[in-house]
Amino acid sequence: MVESIAATSLLGHRPVFGGYHSSGVSGMRKIFGVGRIAVPEFISGKVVRTQFRRLGVQPIKAQAMELTKEAYSDRKKDQTIRDFQEGFDIDADRKPGVWPPENKADKPSLHNPLLRQERMGCGWLGAIFEWEGVLIEDNPDLETQAWITLSQEEGKSPLLGFMLRRIEGMKNEQAISEVLCWSRDPEEVKRMAFRKEQIYQALQGGIYSFRSGSHEFVNVLMHYKIPMALVATRPRKTLETAIGQIGIKGVFTVIVTAEDVHRGKPDPEMFLYASQKLNFIPERCIVFGNSNQTVEAAHDARMKCVAVASKHPVYELRAADMVVSRLDELSVVDLKNLADIEMAEFGSSEPELEMETEEDDDESYSGSSTAAGDDFW
């Protein structure tokens, strides 16, 4: 019975880790640098006195570190697939497991040197390309002329320059319903968007050609086995026809078109969807675009952006991580440096223990400040 009472009394006192508080004559609280645990002494079944035995700080710190590691490992196991944005929901092909996927960088536990060398190659980063003005030649005047022609056909007021700049990069349906406010009826919006695309294709003539240096850069990425995705707000049928015409069919692992997303730029939905289809975390993806809307969308998606100065001067694209005139100015080393991120950003580093220092009571603080003031004066 005495042993049971002793066990109960022992558990009734909380061990103090990191210090024991005592009050001195001045009322200030003192903190000792060791842990103490209460050990009661019994005589005839009664507690006579309680002694405090010191515990070393190192064993306590070691136990705390083990507990912290176990907590973080459980949290990592229980991590579920989560969207990158609040309210962002798309039907991406996700493999079983947790999201984000495991990084495809070096894994020291692998004993096969060839497999490790392949992992340390370029397969751990992804490239996301825009279509017009980046890979192929683009004439921005055709897009403007298509919108003006559509407004004349529909009997709408002439479009102003700032409105044309605002709808740049958006989906046709998004521009018609949200910016131009021509209609809210889904069927009417869809009809006008389809008609606008017909006008653009008639003006464009179905002639596509690579920009200088683009084809060479794509071949370099293919040689180093870097996964590539293509995003555009054009219909899938139009985009696939153009890809086959210039002879790069099968180059892109993922193709994202207007039918796959709800919104265009500057919303990052297209780039996030492409990264999920590539099975890469956004931080390991590099976006290649030619406008500030692309830079904004890429950074909102936590991706790096390389801007191609095709229709804007270089000084207007300084918000991008890199600005080039031609894609062949880039090297694979440049891409690796852009995608090289400290693993601490993903929470994989070991957590650090921080010792909390307790502040003095308000009364003690006010008393000490008053005493200091008296001594000073």
Residues 128 and 160 in one domain: no
Residues 50 and 159 in one domain: no
Predicted pLDDT of residue 158: 87
**Once rounded to an integer, what is the mean pLDDT over residues 252-279?**
93
Could you give the CA distance from residue 201 to residue 142 in angstroms, rounded to a whole number?
Answer: 9
- Residues 122, 262, single domain; the answer is yes
Q: Check whether residue 227 and residue 189 sit in a common domain.
A: no
Final residue in a domain of this structure, among 204, 219, 246: 204
Hey, which residues does 38 pair with through a beta bridge?
52
Q: How many domains does the chain have?
A: 3
CATH at residue 133:
3.40.50.1000
**How far is CA 237 from each of CA 93, 240, 262, rounded to the nearest angstrom?**
21, 5, 18
For the ranges 57-61, 96-100, 168-172, 308-312, which has the lowest average pLDDT?
96-100
Q: Do both 196 and 58 map to the same domain?
A: no
Residues 128 and 161 in one domain: no
Q: What is the pLDDT of residue 3?
A: 47
Selected residue with higher pLDDT from 38 and 224: 224
CATH code, domain with 197: 1.10.150
pLDDT of residue 320: 95
pLDDT band at 370, cuts 50/70/90?
very low
The two tokens of residue 305 are 């952006």
Separation CA 108–CA 197 (nearest Å) = 51
Whether the per-residue pLDDT at 266 is higher than 50: the answer is yes
In eight-state DSSP terms, residue 132 is B
Asked if 340 and 244 sit in the same domain, the reply is: yes
In the predicted model, is pLDDT for residue 311 greater than 90?
Answer: no
Query: Could you report the per-residue pLDDT of 318-337, keeping only the tens digit for each?
Result: 999 999 999 999 999 899 88
Domain hosting residue 285, numbered range: 113-137+209-346
> Is residue 253 included in any domain, yes or no?
yes
170 and 216 share a domain? Answer: no
Q: What is the mean pLDDT of residues 269-295?
A: 93
Q: Is residue 172 part of a domain?
A: yes
| Percentage of the chain lying above the pLDDT 70 cut | 58
Q: Which pLDDT belongs to residue 169? A: 87
pLDDT band, very low/low/confident/very high, at 210 (cuts 50, 70, 90): very high
Note whether residue 104 is domain-resident.
no
Q: What is the average pLDDT across 89-110?
A: 53
Tell me: do 255 and 312 sit in the same domain: yes
Mean pLDDT, range 227-243, rounded to an integer: 93
Phi, psi of 212 (to 5 degrees): -60, 125
Kindly report whether the peptide bond that precedes residue 100 is cis, defined as omega within 30 degrees of 0: yes
Tokens for 345, please give them: 């950003």
Please list the residues that pair with 136 across neighbouring strands.
Answer: 132, 210
CB count, 10 Å around CB of 94? Answer: 13
- Name the average pLDDT for the chain: 75
Q: Do the strands 254-256 and 322-324 form a parallel or antiparallel pair, or are they unpaired? A: unpaired
Distance CA 274, CA 256 (A): 7
Over range 246-259, report the average pLDDT: 93
Average pLDDT over residues 216-221: 94
191 and 213 share one domain: no
Given a cut of 50, whether residue 8 has pLDDT beyond it is no
Residue 17: pLDDT over 50: no
121 shares a domain with 144: no
Nearest CA-CA partner of 195 in 257, 151, 164:
151
